[in-house]
Amino acid sequence: MTDRAMEMVVEAGKAMLENGGEVFRAQDTMEIMAHSLGIQEFRVYVLTNGIFASAEGEDGPISAVRHVPRVSVHLGRVEAVNAISRELAEGKLDLDSAEKALHDACAIPAYGFKVSLLAGAVGSGCFAFLFGGAGPEIVTAFCAGIAEMLIMQLFHKGGVSKVFTDIAAAAACTALALAVRPLWGAGYNPSGAIIGALMVLTPGVALTMGIRDIINADYLSGTIRLFDALLCAGCLACGVALTYMVALSFWRIPL
Protein backbone atom coordinates (compact mmCIF):
# COMPACT_ATOMS: atom_id res chain seq x y z
CA MET A 1 0.00 0.00 0.00
CA THR A 2 2.73 2.42 0.98
CA ASP A 3 4.65 1.39 -2.13
CA ARG A 4 1.75 2.36 -4.35
CA ALA A 5 1.19 5.64 -2.52
CA MET A 6 4.90 6.46 -2.75
CA GLU A 7 4.93 5.69 -6.46
CA MET A 8 1.94 7.96 -6.98
CA VAL A 9 3.43 10.84 -4.99
CA VAL A 10 6.75 10.70 -6.82
CA GLU A 11 5.03 10.47 -10.19
CA ALA A 12 2.99 13.56 -9.30
CA GLY A 13 6.21 15.43 -8.46
CA LYS A 14 7.74 14.30 -11.72
CA ALA A 15 4.69 15.43 -13.69
CA MET A 16 4.96 18.81 -12.03
CA LEU A 17 8.66 19.29 -12.87
CA GLU A 18 8.25 17.99 -16.41
CA ASN A 19 5.54 20.50 -17.18
CA GLY A 20 7.27 23.57 -15.86
CA GLY A 21 6.32 23.73 -12.16
CA GLU A 22 8.82 25.30 -9.79
CA VAL A 23 11.07 23.25 -7.56
CA PHE A 24 9.55 24.47 -4.32
CA ARG A 25 6.05 23.83 -5.64
CA ALA A 26 6.91 20.25 -6.59
CA GLN A 27 8.45 19.70 -3.16
CA ASP A 28 5.46 21.23 -1.35
CA THR A 29 2.97 19.26 -3.40
CA MET A 30 4.75 15.97 -2.76
CA GLU A 31 4.98 16.60 0.97
CA ILE A 32 1.31 17.50 1.19
CA MET A 33 0.31 14.42 -0.80
CA ALA A 34 2.50 12.11 1.26
CA HIS A 35 1.12 13.57 4.46
CA SER A 36 -2.47 13.14 3.26
CA LEU A 37 -1.85 9.56 2.15
CA GLY A 38 -0.29 8.73 5.49
CA ILE A 39 3.19 7.83 4.25
CA GLN A 40 5.51 7.56 7.24
CA GLU A 41 8.88 9.34 7.41
CA PHE A 42 8.51 10.87 3.95
CA ARG A 43 11.64 12.79 2.97
CA VAL A 44 12.14 14.37 -0.43
CA TYR A 45 14.78 16.46 -2.16
CA VAL A 46 13.86 18.07 -5.46
CA LEU A 47 16.17 19.57 -8.06
CA THR A 48 15.31 21.19 -11.38
CA ASN A 49 15.95 17.89 -13.11
CA GLY A 50 15.59 15.22 -10.46
CA ILE A 51 13.64 13.93 -7.45
CA PHE A 52 15.05 11.90 -4.58
CA ALA A 53 12.58 10.56 -2.03
CA SER A 54 12.53 8.01 0.74
CA ALA A 55 9.94 6.77 3.20
CA GLU A 56 9.23 4.06 5.72
CA GLY A 57 7.27 1.20 4.13
CA GLU A 58 5.56 -1.82 5.69
CA ASP A 59 8.59 -4.04 5.08
CA GLY A 60 11.44 -1.63 5.62
CA PRO A 61 12.52 1.62 4.00
CA ILE A 62 11.56 2.45 0.43
CA SER A 63 13.14 4.99 -1.86
CA ALA A 64 12.37 6.47 -5.23
CA VAL A 65 14.53 8.45 -7.64
CA ARG A 66 13.33 10.17 -10.79
CA HIS A 67 15.31 11.90 -13.51
CA VAL A 68 13.53 14.69 -15.39
CA PRO A 69 15.81 15.52 -18.29
CA ARG A 70 13.49 17.45 -20.55
CA VAL A 71 10.99 20.13 -19.62
CA SER A 72 8.22 21.18 -21.97
CA VAL A 73 6.01 23.79 -20.40
CA HIS A 74 2.39 22.73 -19.98
CA LEU A 75 0.93 24.85 -17.20
CA GLY A 76 -2.49 23.25 -17.54
CA ARG A 77 -1.04 19.98 -16.20
CA VAL A 78 0.74 21.80 -13.37
CA GLU A 79 -2.58 23.25 -12.35
CA ALA A 80 -4.27 19.84 -12.53
CA VAL A 81 -1.62 18.14 -10.37
CA ASN A 82 -1.89 20.98 -7.88
CA ALA A 83 -5.64 20.46 -7.76
CA ILE A 84 -5.12 16.76 -6.96
CA SER A 85 -2.85 17.61 -4.03
CA ARG A 86 -5.39 20.04 -2.65
CA GLU A 87 -8.25 17.57 -2.97
CA LEU A 88 -6.12 14.90 -1.30
CA ALA A 89 -5.38 17.26 1.55
CA GLU A 90 -9.08 18.06 1.91
CA GLY A 91 -9.81 14.34 2.02
CA LYS A 92 -11.93 14.38 -1.14
CA LEU A 93 -9.79 11.76 -2.91
CA ASP A 94 -8.45 8.37 -1.89
CA LEU A 95 -5.42 6.65 -3.39
CA ASP A 96 -7.29 4.95 -6.23
CA SER A 97 -9.12 8.03 -7.43
CA ALA A 98 -5.95 10.13 -7.00
CA GLU A 99 -4.02 7.71 -9.20
CA LYS A 100 -6.71 7.96 -11.82
CA ALA A 101 -6.81 11.77 -11.55
CA LEU A 102 -3.02 11.95 -11.95
CA HIS A 103 -3.21 9.75 -15.00
CA ASP A 104 -5.87 12.03 -16.47
CA ALA A 105 -3.86 15.15 -15.58
CA CYS A 106 -0.80 13.86 -17.42
CA ALA A 107 -2.97 13.11 -20.43
CA ILE A 108 -4.36 16.65 -20.81
CA PRO A 109 -3.73 17.33 -24.47
CA ALA A 110 -1.65 20.23 -25.75
CA TYR A 111 -3.18 22.78 -28.09
CA GLY A 112 -3.12 21.67 -31.72
CA PHE A 113 -0.34 22.25 -34.21
CA LYS A 114 -2.19 24.95 -36.14
CA VAL A 115 -3.22 26.83 -33.02
CA SER A 116 0.36 26.93 -31.70
CA LEU A 117 1.58 28.04 -35.09
CA LEU A 118 -0.93 30.88 -35.16
CA ALA A 119 -0.13 31.84 -31.55
CA GLY A 120 3.58 32.06 -32.36
CA ALA A 121 2.94 34.14 -35.44
CA VAL A 122 0.48 36.54 -33.83
CA GLY A 123 2.74 36.85 -30.77
CA SER A 124 5.70 37.75 -32.97
CA GLY A 125 3.65 40.33 -34.85
CA CYS A 126 2.41 41.87 -31.60
CA PHE A 127 5.91 42.15 -30.20
CA ALA A 128 7.18 43.76 -33.39
CA PHE A 129 4.52 46.42 -32.80
CA LEU A 130 5.29 46.79 -29.08
CA PHE A 131 8.94 47.37 -29.86
CA GLY A 132 8.15 50.20 -32.22
CA GLY A 133 7.67 48.42 -35.53
CA ALA A 134 5.27 49.62 -38.24
CA GLY A 135 3.38 47.68 -40.93
CA PRO A 136 6.31 46.05 -42.78
CA GLU A 137 8.01 44.89 -39.58
CA ILE A 138 4.79 43.47 -38.15
CA VAL A 139 4.00 41.49 -41.30
CA THR A 140 7.57 40.21 -41.53
CA ALA A 141 7.61 39.24 -37.86
CA PHE A 142 4.33 37.41 -38.37
CA CYS A 143 5.85 35.33 -41.20
CA ALA A 144 9.07 34.81 -39.26
CA GLY A 145 6.96 33.63 -36.32
CA ILE A 146 5.34 30.98 -38.51
CA ALA A 147 8.76 29.87 -39.78
CA GLU A 148 10.27 29.55 -36.32
CA MET A 149 7.26 27.76 -34.85
CA LEU A 150 7.39 25.28 -37.74
CA ILE A 151 11.07 24.66 -37.04
CA MET A 152 10.47 24.30 -33.30
CA GLN A 153 7.62 21.83 -33.75
CA LEU A 154 9.29 19.74 -36.43
CA PHE A 155 12.65 19.58 -34.63
CA HIS A 156 10.91 18.73 -31.38
CA LYS A 157 9.12 15.83 -33.05
CA GLY A 158 12.34 14.71 -34.71
CA GLY A 159 14.17 14.71 -31.36
CA VAL A 160 16.73 17.34 -32.36
CA SER A 161 18.62 18.85 -29.40
CA LYS A 162 17.33 22.08 -27.91
CA VAL A 163 20.58 23.91 -28.65
CA PHE A 164 20.40 23.26 -32.34
CA THR A 165 16.67 23.96 -32.49
CA ASP A 166 17.20 27.41 -30.97
CA ILE A 167 20.07 28.26 -33.31
CA ALA A 168 18.10 27.12 -36.36
CA ALA A 169 14.94 28.99 -35.34
CA ALA A 170 16.83 32.23 -34.66
CA ALA A 171 18.77 31.87 -37.92
CA ALA A 172 15.58 31.23 -39.88
CA CYS A 173 13.77 34.31 -38.63
CA THR A 174 16.85 36.49 -39.19
CA ALA A 175 17.27 35.13 -42.71
CA LEU A 176 13.62 35.76 -43.48
CA ALA A 177 13.74 39.30 -42.12
CA LEU A 178 16.83 40.09 -44.21
CA ALA A 179 15.54 38.37 -47.34
CA VAL A 180 12.37 40.44 -47.57
CA ARG A 181 14.31 43.69 -47.39
CA PRO A 182 14.12 44.48 -51.14
CA LEU A 183 10.37 43.90 -50.95
CA TRP A 184 9.67 46.64 -48.42
CA GLY A 185 12.13 49.30 -49.54
CA ALA A 186 13.67 52.08 -47.52
CA GLY A 187 11.30 52.42 -44.56
CA TYR A 188 11.88 48.86 -43.39
CA ASN A 189 14.01 48.07 -40.35
CA PRO A 190 14.94 44.37 -40.15
CA SER A 191 15.95 44.67 -36.48
CA GLY A 192 12.37 45.46 -35.47
CA ALA A 193 11.03 42.37 -37.19
CA ILE A 194 13.81 40.13 -35.84
CA ILE A 195 13.28 41.29 -32.25
CA GLY A 196 9.56 40.62 -32.52
CA ALA A 197 10.14 37.10 -33.76
CA LEU A 198 12.94 36.43 -31.28
CA MET A 199 10.76 37.32 -28.29
CA VAL A 200 8.92 34.02 -28.74
CA LEU A 201 12.21 32.15 -28.33
CA THR A 202 13.73 34.12 -25.45
CA PRO A 203 14.47 32.15 -22.27
CA GLY A 204 12.27 34.36 -20.12
CA VAL A 205 10.89 31.49 -18.08
CA ALA A 206 14.25 29.93 -17.31
CA LEU A 207 15.82 33.30 -16.49
CA THR A 208 13.12 34.45 -14.12
CA MET A 209 12.58 31.10 -12.46
CA GLY A 210 16.32 30.68 -12.03
CA ILE A 211 16.62 33.95 -10.15
CA ARG A 212 13.48 33.12 -8.17
CA ASP A 213 14.94 29.75 -7.17
CA ILE A 214 18.10 31.46 -6.01
CA ILE A 215 16.10 33.96 -3.96
CA ASN A 216 14.25 30.96 -2.46
CA ALA A 217 17.71 29.66 -1.46
CA ASP A 218 17.54 26.74 -3.95
CA TYR A 219 20.98 27.67 -5.23
CA LEU A 220 21.63 24.49 -7.16
CA SER A 221 18.28 24.49 -8.97
CA GLY A 222 18.60 28.20 -9.67
CA THR A 223 22.03 27.72 -11.17
CA ILE A 224 20.79 24.92 -13.40
CA ARG A 225 18.03 27.16 -14.72
CA LEU A 226 20.26 30.19 -15.13
CA PHE A 227 22.72 28.16 -17.17
CA ASP A 228 19.82 26.92 -19.23
CA ALA A 229 18.79 30.54 -19.87
CA LEU A 230 22.33 31.58 -20.66
CA LEU A 231 22.76 28.73 -23.10
CA CYS A 232 19.46 29.55 -24.81
CA ALA A 233 20.33 33.26 -25.07
CA GLY A 234 23.73 32.31 -26.46
CA CYS A 235 22.08 30.08 -29.05
CA LEU A 236 19.74 32.88 -30.16
CA ALA A 237 22.63 35.32 -30.43
CA CYS A 238 24.62 32.70 -32.30
CA GLY A 239 21.82 32.02 -34.78
CA VAL A 240 21.31 35.74 -35.48
CA ALA A 241 25.04 36.41 -35.72
CA LEU A 242 25.74 33.50 -38.07
CA THR A 243 22.99 34.56 -40.45
CA TYR A 244 24.20 38.15 -40.45
CA MET A 245 27.74 37.06 -41.17
CA VAL A 246 26.68 34.79 -44.01
CA ALA A 247 24.47 37.53 -45.49
CA LEU A 248 27.26 40.04 -45.17
CA SER A 249 30.00 37.96 -46.72
CA PHE A 250 28.07 36.23 -49.50
CA TRP A 251 25.54 38.80 -50.60
CA ARG A 252 27.07 42.00 -49.22
CA ILE A 253 23.87 42.75 -47.29
CA PRO A 254 24.81 45.44 -44.78
CA LEU A 255 23.75 45.05 -41.17
Q: Does 38 bind other proteins (CB under 8 A)?
A: no
For other proteins, the binding residue among 46, 77, 147, 168 (CB under 8 A) is 77
**Of 23 and 64, which CB lies nearer to other proteins in the complex structure?**
23
Q: Does 215 bind other proteins (CB under 8 A)?
A: yes
Neighbours of 231 (CB within 10 A): 15
Minimum CB separation from other proteins for residue 17, in Å? 12
Spatial separation of the C-alpha atoms in residues 197 and 250, rounded to whole Å:
24
CB-based contact 91:4 (threshold 8 Å): no
Enumerate residues 6+ apart whose C-beta is below 8 A from 192: 128, 131, 132, 133, 134, 137, 141
For other proteins, the binding residue among 2, 48, 82, 189 (CB under 8 A) is 82
Spatial separation of the C-alpha atoms in residues 214 and 18, rounded to whole Å:
20
CB-based contact 5:37 (threshold 8 Å): yes
Backbone angles phi, psi at 199, to 5 degrees: -55, -35
Spatial separation of the C-alpha atoms in residues 76 and 153, rounded to whole Å:
19
Cα–Cα nearest to 103, from 5, 11, 26: 11
Number of chain positions touching other proteins (CB under 8 A):
60
Name which of residues 85 to 144 contact other proteins (CB under 8 A).
85-86, 89, 108, 110-111, 115-116, 119-120, 122-123, 126-127, 129-131
Q: Does 31 bind other proteins (CB under 8 A)?
A: yes
Q: Does 246 bind other proteins (CB under 8 A)?
A: no
The DSSP 8-state label assigned to residue 59 in this structure reads T
**Of 60 and 74, which CB lies nearer to other proteins in the complex structure?**
74
Minimum CB separation from other proteins for residue 115, in Å? 7
Contact footprint for other proteins (CB under 8 A): 19-22, 25, 28-29, 31-32, 35, 73-79, 82, 85-86, 89, 108, 110-111, 115-116, 119-120, 122-123, 126-127, 129-131, 191, 194-195, 198-200, 202, 204-205, 207-212, 215, 233, 236-238, 240-241, 244-245, 255
